């Protein structure tokens, strides 16, 4: 060791007096061996060479003792020549020189000259100057959470530069939930004691401590950062097991009904939840859809409460790798008033007889509403002002009932509108129209348009001519309203009415059956019945008054004096008659009436015009002036009597006036009658008388003959004329009603036939009367007693 460093050494020794030296002195074959702890401070004394070598301290410097480090630039040791101490000259690091070798020897040469001696050998003792050390401060490891219990994970061991006991002796792992440590020699392993759950703890930090065996003990730690990797160990979990939602029906498409959500504790694709329907019916698929990502269930179709009031849908949540879970979605549909009530006609008595009593049920109506609750509460009504009402019956049934008397003739059919309204909000309603017709009952008799009818006919009408027509109305239906006219039986002047008139059963036209004679009767009444064809029939009757009007068909008839030709009559006019005195009077009548019978008298011709006048209307013949002696004794007047008809008819007569005071003075009464004209007339009369008498005789003979025959064979001739054989009648005669009215024109013919029989007899009687009359007149005029005797 170099000697020039004495002062430094002194300082070194003083300041480090407490340092211990451990060394073993060996002396063998001249070699010195020291053991020195590493890392001693400079100046620390390793040993005393002088003592160890048995030399004088002074001889060291004499012998130029020095330390020569073999093959080393660094001079770790020095010799204090004054004390002979071997001292640390520089820091000695065992690990630097020897690494991990268990024994570390630092070779140096201690040179002594005179004689040259060489001593060497320095053992370096280890001290625990190094801590165990891991390669990194942080160890990252990733472990899948699915790792099984007992899985092992190797951790790189820690190193300690020291050797022996000072090197790493043991490891310890800070207590944790999952891992324990397994050390086998140099192999350190983490052993999974309890399964990991990423979802609980994603990262775990473990503190691993390596301990050496030095004293004091040193340690080194490392943090093991365990990242737990996810495994798809979690199925998605719905937030609710059952989702309930209510949805109004008819909700528009795209309405969100409910959103289901499921969470998956896994991460990444393992936690990527998608939603879908589980097993659902086709209907559900048509109505709802589920959003794969969001879990929104939306409406895609028509939601109809009336079809389905609720849906139960299984919803599936699935994560990326196929773990799935299910939830139930219950969608209850709420009713919306979307169905109008429906009115059904269950039964209907159509054609209600009009005599139906009020309160009769004529129809049954059923009302239905497919909605529910209030929306299906239905009120039913019909319009006012019809004689019907609705009576609620069982449940949704209503009876349609009449409320009043029906009259087909007023209203023959009804359109009844039944309106049904539900109680929803807003309410819906619907209506149905029912057509009801009223059936006819024969409840109306025919009614004549007028209370009575009058027919005016001029006499001498043609048989069959139309007099008038009657009309009756019957408002009933068809045959109940079909009117048939007929004459009611009755008598006019002792003859049945049917011999005067007939009525057309269909038209009501009244015909005359015969020609009327005003002079026979001026008016008569018949009753016409109108009857309908119902069952039973209803009828009414009306009076038809027939007024026959006059025709100027009768000439005035002069009653006095006797008509021309029979004028044997004379009036005596006193000679002293003054002007204006009434001489005679022409008396005439006219069978006609009115103007036709308004007679006027005129003197057509007179022997002495100016002597007599006649009252125009009275027929009184008066002297116009005083009679004078010069006036002819015989005065002859021809008087015409005219009626006032159009044209007027007239008759004439002659009046013989004898101006005399005494009838005896009239010697030539016969002369008066036998003038030229009269004799001619008389001869005619005689001819007529003879022929009439002959005829009359013949007639008497016939009558006698007939009577004689009838006694033996009654009913031969006259009865046959009264009882008309039915074969004689036209075939339709059977159609005649009870009253004897014939349809159409047949009746007229029939009556004509019967009538003509009667007229035969009348004619005969006329002749008889005429003959009697003529005979009478002749007897008056001729005074032929024989003539009367003949008659007697
Ligand atoms: C009833 O309705 C029918 C057809 O809709 C119509 O012809 C008829 O005139 C109506 N009757 C009444 C009384 O309104
Ligand atoms: C006529 O009235 C009767 C009842 O009086 C009835 O039975 C019949 O049906 C009616 N005829 C018609 C055509 O209406
Ligand atoms: C005709 O009608 C009247 C009243 O209308 C009645 O009094 C009379 O009896 C009826 N006559 C016949 C024959 O029906």
pLDDT in tens, 152-181: 888 888 888 888 888 888 889 999 888 998
pLDDT at 712: 56
d(CA 792, CA 783): 15
503: helix, strand or coil: strand
Q: Is the pLDDT of residue 677 over 90?
A: no
Token pair, residue 790, equals 């003949």
* Residue 520, ligand 1, Cβ within 6 A: no
pLDDT digit string, tens, across residues 84-106 = 888 888 888 887 777 777 777 77
The protein residue whose alpha carbon is closest to atom 11 in ligand 3 is 541
Which of 559-568, 639-648, 771-780 comes out lowest in average pLDDT?
Answer: 771-780
Ligand nearest to the CA of 475: 2
Query: What atom of ligand 1 comes closest to residue 435's alpha carbon?
Result: 1
d(CA 588, CA 642): 10
- Measured at the CA of 773, the angle between CA 771 and CA 774, to 5 degrees, comes to 65
pLDDT digit string, tens, across residues 114-131 = 777 776 666 777 788 888
The protein residue whose alpha carbon is closest to atom 5 in ligand 1 is 415
User: In the structure, which protein residues have their CB atom closer than 6 angstroms to any atom of ligand 3?
Assistant: 488, 541
Say how far residue 492 (Cα) sits from the centre of its chain.
69
d(CA 390, CA 417): 11
pLDDT digit string, tens, across residues 16-42 = 333 333 333 333 345 677 888 888 888
Ligand nearest to the CA of 481: 2
Which of 77-86, 202-211, 353-362, 564-573 comes out lowest in average pLDDT?
Answer: 564-573
d(CA 788, CA 792): 6
Query: What atom of ligand 1 comes closest to residue 411's alpha carbon?
Result: 13
Q: How far away, in angstroms, is 534 Cα from ligand 2 center?
A: 7
pLDDT at 94: 81
Sequence-distant (6+) residues with CB within 8 A of 564 are 638, 652, 653, 654
Q: How far away, in angstroms, is 398 Cα from ligand 2 center?
A: 29
d(CA 21, CA 447): 169
pLDDT at 746: 34
Q: What is the dihedral of CA 680, 682, 686, 687, to 10 degrees?
A: 30
Query: What atom of ligand 2 comes closest to residue 439's alpha carbon?
Result: 14
Long-range pairs of 174-183 with CB within 8 A, sequence gap ≥ 24: 174/206, 174/207, 174/208, 174/209, 176/204, 176/206, 177/204, 178/204, 178/226, 179/204, 179/206, 179/226, 181/208, 182/152
**Mutation test of ligand 3: which of 527, 531, 540, 541 has the most ligand atoms closer than 8 Å to its C-beta?**
541
pLDDT at 706: 83
d(CA 199, CA 781): 173
Query: What atom of ligand 3 comes closest to residue 529's alpha carbon?
Result: 14
Percent of the chain with pLDDT over 70: 81
pLDDT digit string, tens, across residues 610-629 = 888 999 999 999 998 888 88
Q: How far away, in angstroms, is 413 Cα from ligand 1 center?
A: 8
The protein residue whose alpha carbon is closest to atom 13 in ligand 2 is 478
User: In the structure, which protein residues have their CB atom closer than 6 angstroms to any atom of ligand 2?
Assistant: 439-442, 477-480, 534
The protein residue whose alpha carbon is closest to atom 7 in ligand 2 is 441
Q: How far away, in angstroms, is 448 Cα from ligand 2 center?
A: 21
* Residue 203, ligand 1, Cβ within 6 A: no
Please state whether the predicted TM-score (pTM) of the whole model is above 0.85: no
Helix (H) or strand (E) holding 790: helix 785-791
677: helix, strand or coil: helix
Q: Is the pLDDT of residue 634 over 70?
A: yes
721: helix, strand or coil: helix
């Amino acid at each position: 060791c170099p000697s020039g460093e004495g002062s430094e050494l002194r300082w070194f020794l003083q300041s480090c007096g407490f340092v211990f030296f451990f060394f073993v002195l060996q002396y063998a074959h001249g070699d010195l061996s020291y053991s020195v702890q590493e890392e001693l401070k400079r100046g620390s004394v390793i040993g005393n060479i002088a003592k160890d070598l048995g030399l004088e301290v002074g001889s060291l410097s004499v012998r130029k003792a020095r330390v020569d480090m073999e093959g080393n630039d660094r001079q770790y040791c020095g010799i204090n020549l004054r004390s002979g101490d071997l001292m640390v000259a520089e820091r000695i690091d065992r690990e630097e020189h020897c690494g991990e070798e268990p024994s570390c020897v630092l070779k140096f040469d201690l040179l002594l000259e005179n004689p040259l001696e060489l001593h060497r050998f320095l053992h370096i003792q280890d001290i625990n100057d190094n801590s165990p050390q891991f390669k990194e401060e942080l160890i990252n490891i990733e472990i899948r959470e699915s790792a099984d219990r007992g899985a092992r994970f190797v951790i790189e061991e820690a190193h300690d530069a020291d050797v022996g006991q000072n090197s790493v002796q043991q490891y310890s792992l800070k207590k944790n939930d999952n891992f324990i440590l397994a050390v086998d020699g140099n192999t350190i392993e983490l052993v999974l004691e309890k399964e990991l759950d990423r979802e609980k703890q994603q990262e775990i930090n473990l503190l691993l401590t390596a301990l050496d065996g030095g004293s004091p003990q040193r340690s080194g730690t490392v943090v093991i950062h365990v990242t737990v990797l996810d495994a798809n160990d979690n199925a998605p979990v719905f937030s609710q097991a059952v989702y309930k939602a209510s949805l109004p029906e008819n909700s528009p498409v795209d309405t969100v009904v409910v959103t289901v959500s499921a969470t998956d504790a896994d991460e990444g694709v393992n936690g990527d939840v998608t939603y879908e329907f589980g097993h659902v019916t086709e209907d559900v698929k048509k109505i709802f859809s589920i959003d794969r990502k969001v879990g929104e269930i939306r409406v895609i179709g028509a939601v109809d409460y009336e079809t389905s009031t609720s849906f139960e849908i299984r919803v599936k949540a699935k994560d990326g790798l196929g773990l799935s879970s299910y939830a139930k979605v219950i969608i209850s549909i709420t009713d919306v008033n979307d169905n109008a009530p429906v009115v059904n006609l269950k039964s209907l008595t159509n054609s209600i007889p009009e005599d139906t009593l009020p309160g009769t049920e004529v129809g049954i109506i059923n009302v239905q509403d497919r909605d529910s609750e209030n929306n299906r509460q239905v009120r039913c009504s019909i319009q006012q002002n019809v004689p019907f009402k609705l009576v609620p019956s069982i449940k949704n049934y209503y009876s349609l009932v009449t409320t009043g008397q029906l009259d087909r003739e007023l209203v023959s059919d009804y359109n009844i509108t039944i309106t049904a309204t539900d109680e929803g909000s807003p309410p819906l309603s619907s209506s149905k129209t029912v057509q009801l017709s009223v059936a006819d009952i024969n409840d109306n008799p025919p009614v004549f348009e007028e209370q009575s009818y009058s027919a005016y006919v001029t006499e001498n009408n043609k048989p069959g001519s139309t007099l008038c027509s009657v009309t009756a109305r019957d408002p009933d239906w068809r045959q109940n309203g079909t009117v048939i006219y007929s004459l009611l039986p009755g008598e006019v002047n002792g003859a049945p009415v049917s011999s005067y008139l007939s009525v057309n059963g269909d038209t009501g036209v009244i015909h005359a059956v015969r020609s009327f004679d005003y002079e026979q009767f001026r008016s008569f009444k018949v009753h016409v019945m109108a009857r309908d064809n119902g069952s039973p029939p209803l009828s009414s009757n009306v009076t038809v008054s027939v007024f026959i009007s006059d025709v100027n068909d009768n000439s005035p008839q002069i009653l006095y004096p006797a008509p021309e030709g029979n004028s044997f009559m004379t009036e005596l006019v006193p000679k002293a008659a003054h002007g204006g005195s009434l001489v005679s009077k022409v008396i005439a009548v006219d069978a006609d009436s009115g103007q036709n019978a308004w007679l006027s008298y005129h003197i057509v011709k007179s022997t002495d015009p100016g002597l007599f006048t006649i009252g125009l209307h009275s027929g009184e013949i008066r002297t116009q002036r005083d009679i004078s002696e010069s006036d002819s004794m015989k005065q002859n007047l021809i008087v015409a009597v005219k009626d006032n008809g159009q044209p007027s008819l007239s008759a004439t007569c002659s009046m013989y006036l004898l101006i005399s005071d005494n009838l005896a003075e009239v010697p030539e009464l016969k002369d008066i009658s036998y003038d030229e004209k009269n004799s001619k007339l008389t001869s005619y009369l005689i001819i007529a008388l003879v022929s009439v008498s002959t005829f009359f005789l013949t007639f008497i003979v016939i009558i006698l003959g007939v009577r004689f025959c009838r006694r033996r064979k009654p009913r031969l001739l006259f009865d046959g004329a009264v009882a008309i054989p039915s074969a004689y009648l036209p075939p339709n005669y059977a159609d005649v009603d009870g009253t004897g009215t014939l349809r159409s024109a047949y009746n007229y013919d029939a009556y004509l036939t019967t009538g003509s029989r009667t007229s035969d007899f009348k004619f005969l009687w006329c002749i008889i009367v005429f003959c009697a009359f003529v005979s009478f007149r002749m007897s008056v005029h001729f005074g032929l007693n024989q003539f009367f005797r003949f008659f007697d």
